[in-house]
Structure 1
Amino acid sequence: MPNLKLQSALVIAPHPDDETLGCGGTILKLKAMGVSVHWLIVTTIDGVAGFPQDRVAVRAREIESVRDAYGFDGVHQCFLPAAGLDTLGKGELIGAIGKVIRCVEPDSLYVPYRNDVHSDHAAVFDAAVSAAKTFRSPFVKAIYAYETLSETDFGLRPDDPGFRPNLYEDITGYLDRKISIMSKFDGEMGEFPFPRSEECLRALATLRGAQANCNAAEAFMTLKEIR
């Protein structure tokens, strides 16, 4: 666990499933420890080209099922267009995420890695960090960036030093539940070698576990800690 004695966390997901890929085991562990955990979903597929209305209804049921599986203390949605966050004004995105941060007043934030290949992830990172500035959100004591299979590992920016974790969360005992929850997102999992497959989720957890001397782990970059 982080060195700080945190009481509440806000997990910010550009899309529903990012929270599970990046820190599903950590969410389960935090909840088991009595930490209040909230889930912020930034985007929606409702009204977005390429997503039929029946898929929108299915996604809403998936979110409800995942909410119950984790036992989130709150679920918040910005309802901004998926795959279109980079077309919005920065003020609009910062304002939407900042409103939730001020409502929840978490002492820790979990955010996507800045250089993920998906433009939505970069936009969410920038907005979350801006909204969490100390003078805006003095209650935020820690910010951690998570890695997302199929997004973090496919980043090819030549100026990106890569995801270099300095914090590992031992999720031994939580990995099976994480994978079970991920399977609730219809169409997001695929057969290996698809990166969002059970084999890949287990492989990454095993690799991070080996780095942390445990059976399974999730890795993070500590961006900020105030003690």
Structure 2
Amino acid sequence: MVNTQNYKRCLVLAPHTDDGEFGCGGTIAKLISEGCEVYYVAFSACEQSVLKEFPKDILISEVKEATARLGIKPENLRLFKYNVREFNFHRQEILDDIIKLKSEIKPDLVFIPSVNDIHQDHATIANEAIRAFKFSTIFCYEMPWNNFSFNTTCFVKLSEENISTKVHAVSAYVSQAHRVYANEAFIRSLATVRGVQVGIPYAEVFEIVRMII
């Protein structure tokens, strides 16, 4: 298990608004409670795929609320406007954006989607982030609905408070409530399974791309 108190400045790269909360919301809550400065960057608000009964830009207001519930400062939330499912056409622009974030934020820990994530946008962010942060500690967060395989090499111990905070953050995404994984039962069951694997009540799991000690 990782001692999260070693990290003072973390960056979460979310292809789409909500990916960071689903993938590592409990860990974000834990890091912030321990005094870590967490930055959250979303590359798309998915306006092209929002259900018709919601405003097209609803995910912008939802990510602001969700990240606030995790404890992320408003000024530490960054939003880009790439079209969903088109990231691969803008690989170089995305890499340039990530490099600028690296220079500005200088994180000592970076969270990205899995390198085995089958969603084309997630794969683009993962690959470009590795290019940009090849001299940094990088953890990939778990999204079981997109991961055909996931190497469980790092576990972060979570408390009931951390899990409750994650559930509360995810619940801000009213427009995504129809997703089969966007509910408290799934969030808690996955955290329980991961906890059981290392003999604790709750955990989130990560793939280690690179770890600098």
Partner of 1:188: 176
Greater per-residue helix proportion:
2
Question: Which stretches in structure 1 are left out of the alignment for 5+ residues?
Answer: 135-139, 156-161
Displacement of 1:197: 2.9
**Pair 1:150 & 2:140 matched:** no
With over 3 angstroms needed to count, the CA separation of the structure-2 counterparts of 1:69 and 1:195, relative to structure 1, is: closer
With over 3 angstroms needed to count, the CA separation of the structure-2 counterparts of 1:100 and 1:118, relative to structure 1, is: same
Correspondences of 1:62-211 after superposition (within 5 Å): 62-73=62-73, 74-88=76-90, 90-134=91-135, 140=136, 142-152=137-147, 155=148, 162-173=149-160, 174-190=162-178, 194-211=180-197
Determine the C-alpha separation between the residues in 2 that align with 1:205 and 1:50: 28
Determine the C-alpha separation between the residues in 1 that align with 2:22 and 2:67: 15
TM-score (norm 1): 0.84
Secondary structure, counterpart of 1:187 in structure 2? helix
Displacement of 1:53: 11
Secondary structure, counterpart of 2:11 in structure 1? strand
Determine the C-alpha separation between the residues in 1 that align with 2:142 and 2:44: 18
Q: How many residues align?
A: 209
Which stretches of structure 1, 4 residues or more, deviate above 4 A after TM superposition?
49-54
Displacement of 1:187: 2.8
Question: Which stretches in structure 2 are left out of the alignment for 5+ residues?
Answer: none
**Pair 1:218 & 2:213 matched:** no
Q: Tell me the alpha carbon deviations over residues 189-217 of structure 1, each in whole angstroms, 9 at most, x when there is no partner.
A: 348xx233322211111100101211111
Partner of 1:58: 58
Displacement of 1:129: 0.6
Q: Please identify the structure whose Cα radius of gyration is greater.
A: 1
Query: One-letter code of the match for 2:84?
Result: A
Q: Are 2:113 and 2:122, in contact at CA under 8 Å, matched by a contact in 1? A: yes
Q: Are 2:45 and 2:59, in contact at CA under 8 Å, matched by a contact in 1? A: no
With over 3 angstroms needed to count, the CA separation of the structure-2 counterparts of 1:207 and 1:54, relative to structure 1, is: closer
Partner of 1:31: 32
TM-score (norm 2): 0.89
Provide the aligned C-alpha RMSD in A: 2.1
